[in-house]
Amino acid sequence: MLSVTHSVIIARPLEEVFSFIADPRNNTRWQSGVTVSEAITPGPLGVGTRVKVVRIVMGRHVESVFNTTRFELNKRFAFKTKSGPIPLEATVSVHALPDGGTKLTLTGQAETGLMGGLFGPMMQVMVKNQIETDAKALKKLLESPPNS
């Protein structure tokens, strides 16, 4: 089992951060390797919403479908894979800071199967680095002035 948690402080109001991160269409703007991210169920994001994500992994397009398992407006949402190569569960949570900023925490667990035994430590480092890189990209995007 692979498990990663990473937090980032974003100098933007909680509602703005949550609104952006909860819209799957924005994933291509801050998650490296994501080429498609779209809800495949109608309506706003909530429990039961399914999201299709296509990501380039080692030069190959890998498609996964995620099912939203928890949704609390301006607090957290969680999802797990419904299809894809690796069973994954993740939670995104936000907390308001006294200065008006937001602490965003990303937590994920993946079942790596036999590959985890052989390559577990290397995979842990790769996933941790990817999440940290994506969190930095999200922070930069949200803290940049509009139209920059």
Answer yes or no: is 66 within a domain. Answer: yes
CB 90 within 8 A of CB 70: no
pLDDT tens for 4-14 read 899 999 999 99
Which whole number is the average pLDDT over 31-45? 92
Answer yes or no: is 53 within a domain. Answer: yes
Answer yes or no: is 10 within a domain. Answer: yes
Answer yes or no: is 15 within a domain. Answer: yes
More confident residue, 112 or 14: 14
pLDDT tens for 54-88 read 988 778 888 999 999 999 999 999 999 876 667 78
DSSP string for the chain: -EEEEEEEEESS-HHHHHHHHT-GGGHHHHSTTEEEEEE-SSSSS-TT-EEEEEEEETTEEEEEEEEEEEEETTTEEEEEEEESSS-EEEEEEEEE-TTS-EEEEEEEEE--HHHHHHHHHHHHHHHHHHHHHHHHHHHHHHHSPTT-
Average pLDDT of the chain?
Answer: 88
Answer yes or no: is 148 within a domain. Answer: no
Domain range for 45: 2-143
Answer yes or no: is 120 within a domain. Answer: yes
pTM beyond 0.85: yes
Answer yes or no: is 116 within a domain. Answer: yes
Q: How far apart are CA 71 and CA 48, in angstroms?
A: 9
- Read off the CATH number of the domain in which 25 is found: 3.30.530.20
Answer yes or no: is 103 within a domain. Answer: yes
pLDDT at 106 over 90: yes
* Count of domains forming the chain: 1
